[in-house]
Structures are given as structure tokens and as C-alpha cells.
Amino acid sequence: MPVIGDGFRRELEARGISRREFVGFCAGVAAILGLPKSAVAQVARALETKPKPTLVWLELQDCAGCTESFLRASKPSAADVILDLLSVDYHETLMAAAGHRAEAALADVVAKKPGEYIAVVEGSIPTGNGYCTVGGRSAQQIVDDVCSHAAAVIAVGTCAAFGGLPAAAPNPTGGRSVGDAVPGIRKLVNMPACPVNGENLAALVTYYLTYGKWPALDHLHRPLFAYGKSIHDACERRAHFDAGQYVEAWGDAGHRAGFCLYKMGCKGPATFHNCPNVGWNEHTSWPVGCGHPCIGCAEPAFWDRMTPFYEHLAGVPGFGVGTSIDRVGAWATAAVAGTFTAHALVQLTRRKLAETAAKKQRAAESSAAPPQPQPKDKQP
């Protein structure tokens, strides 16, 4: 048996990470989570004293981009710490063992630690027979087994959270999100974006380790700390939007001066994610920051709803942070109307019906819970 309760602090010292660096790391995580300064000590205490929980990471209809993004997660000099916060007992891309020995490691966790481990799922789950098998088992058989016995499930990336690319019209393989493939899953958190931002994933795990529960989620099971605000509202180019200063052509004077990319197709007004605040690759940049419009990659069905990527959203009103939230659905619909094939609309309608049904079910299940701030449903 693993030594439960082994001091994380001691391990850090053994590897030469000072107390000061560690607290700095905790403060960074707390900042991403939007926690007050007073919470830093609590985060640090929890990380120091809690045992390493087991985590298994499943890769299904995926591209491993979320795995790579997780490897880019960083807080000053302590990114490797994030790996050590957990015992990652199964991860195809990283693990040394292969074949039946790898599968045995997964089976061991499910058999010996039911209700104790975290399952991370990357990629969607096909409904067709034979579209995705690992060790001879289908993706559906694997998630049925692993997710239903997990203490909590994190769907990383837009594929696992919402179906993503495989589920884009015409969804040739019947790709589905984890929530749709395994209904009634316990403690599901969706972490969309393509790929998931490693910093957000690290912050989520830290929150869970600190408080023993998930942060506040919206109706799509997304943590509010990362998905509570539109890209448009936090964008560094917002002042240019309000001033009517737009990029008109790639490389023009406005583009070089950092003007708003709305006319070039930016989906920031219809996309809820913390890219502008957290950035990518240790705050190096982010897509709008480097000069390309947001493509809405954290939103459900963005491959269908946000395309064509270079056509601008219809009728985004100017001025005023936050005035837009109620109308997001309407703009997305306007952008979509001219571009959809008929069967893509059928797909979306089906998805919408399924989501509504699932939402009702969840609402019934959690009717006793206090209300949480929720952005409006953005589905057309």
C-alpha cells in the first residue's frame, strides 16, 4: 500500500524546492482560481499534508494535445511538482509499461481503489463498433468501467467535454462527450478548450486537493474561475473594439498596432474562457495577443457554431463590459445560419435536446443546492 499522509513538504525539500518557492507556487495557483490572499496558506497546508491521490488518464478519440498541454503546465520552478501531487498510475503517453502490463495497472486501480481515484478523460467516445479500442476493449467499455468507479471525472479538452472535433458535423463515428457517454457520472468537471490550458487543469486539481470538492461550476459543468467570463470582456484589445478601431486586412497598420480582430472573425464575444488572463505557455502569449482571432475553441460544438472562422459574428454591440452575455446566443446563431449544412443542424438539434434533457436531470438532482451564478445557455 502507498504510504498515505507522507509529507509533501518533505518530498519538496528532498528535491531542493524551498519553502519560499513553494508558497510562490501556491499563490500563483490561488490567483488563477480567483481565491483571496488568505487562501494561499490553506492551499499550501493542504498540499503539504494530504496524501497523493491516484489518477488515471484515459486517451480515447484524442490527439494527445491535452496531454502535451498538461506537460506545459507551470508555476515558477515547480511544474514537475504538479505531476508529483498525484500518483499517475495510468497514462498511455507517459507510462513505461505497455500492453497487458499497462492494462493491469489500470485494472488494479479500478479494482483496489473504487471511489478513491480521479479519472481524467481526453478525447471523445465513439458509438460505432471498433472506432476506438485499447487493449481489445472499446472506448465505451473502458469509460463505463473506469469512470463509473471513479471518485471524480475530469473531461479535459473540448472533445471529452463536448464531443469536439470527432463530433463535428457529420460526426462520422458518433463521437460523444464523457457526460453523454456515461450518464449520471459522479462529480464530472468539464475543462474544454482545444487543448485544455495546462495551468487551468493544475489549478483545478489543486483546488480539489485543498478543499476536497470541486470549485463552483456552471450549467455545463465548467469551473467558473476559468469559464465565467467572455474573452471579449477581458481582452487586451477591448478598448479598440469600443473605439471602433479594427484590423481590416492581415498585416495592415491596424493589425500592426494591435487593433481589434472582430472584423477578421474573432469569436471572443461568444467564448467563455480565461485566455486573456492566464495566457499560454507561462503567460508568453495567447492567440489574440499574437494577432489571430479567437476561434471559440472552449465552446460546445465550436467546429460547427464558430465556423467559418474568418466570418465575423453578427451584431455584437459596442461599449460596456458584461452587457453582452444575454445576447451571445443570438450572435452565434446569426453567424451559423448561413454556413450550416442541413444535417449539421439536425446534429446540433439532437445534441441540444440531449443537453436539455441532461440539464433537467441534473437540476432535479441538485435542487437542494444553493443557486450558483450561471451564464446563459449559449446554444442556438
What is d(CA 205, CA 190) in angstroms, rounded to the nearest whole number?
Answer: 13
User: Counting contacts by CB under 8 A, is residue 88 touching other proteins?
Assistant: yes
Closer to other proteins by Cβ: residue 93 or 366: 93
Q: Residue 315: which H helix or E strand, with range?
A: none
| Candidate ranges 21-29, 56-64, 202-210, 217-225; the one touching other proteins (CB under 8 A) | 56-64
User: Counting contacts by CB under 8 A, is residue 116 touching other proteins?
Assistant: no
Distance of CA 227 to the CA centre of its chain: 9
DSSP SS3 for 125: strand
Residue 272 gets which letter from DSSP? Answer: B
When binding is defined by CB under 8 A, the residue of 37, 38, 98, 319 that contacts other proteins is 98
| Candidate ranges 28-36, 74-82, 147-155, 355-363; the one touching other proteins (CB under 8 A) | 74-82
Residue 366: half-sphere exposure toward Cβ, Cα within 13 Å = 16
Residues 243-282 that bind other proteins (CB under 8 A): 249-251, 255-258, 280-282
Min dist CB 216 to other proteins, Å, is: 26
When binding is defined by CB under 8 A, the residue of 74, 230, 271, 274 that contacts other proteins is 74
User: Counting contacts by CB under 8 A, is residue 105 touching other proteins?
Assistant: yes
Integer angstrom CA distances of residue 7 from 12, 46, 51, 344: 9, 10, 8, 53
Report the amino acid identity of residue 288.
V
For residues 332 and 305, is the Cβ–Cβ distance under 8 A? Answer: yes
Min dist CB 323 to other proteins, Å, is: 26
User: Counting contacts by CB under 8 A, is residue 107 touching other proteins?
Assistant: no
End-to-end CA distance of the chain: 51
Min dist CB 81 to other proteins, Å, is: 11
Min dist CB 326 to other proteins, Å, is: 28
Considering only CA atoms, which of 155, 194, 201, 237 is closest in space to residue 32?
201
For residues 191 and 154, is the Cβ–Cβ distance under 8 A? Answer: yes
| Candidate ranges 132-140, 218-226, 316-324, 367-375; the one touching other proteins (CB under 8 A) | 132-140
Min dist CB 92 to other proteins, Å, is: 5
Show the CA angle centred on residue 266, arms to residues 265 and 270, nearest 5°: 120
Site mask for other proteins (CB under 8 A), range 133-162, x = bound: xxxxxx--x---------------------
When binding is defined by CB under 8 A, the residue of 114, 184, 308, 318 that contacts other proteins is 308
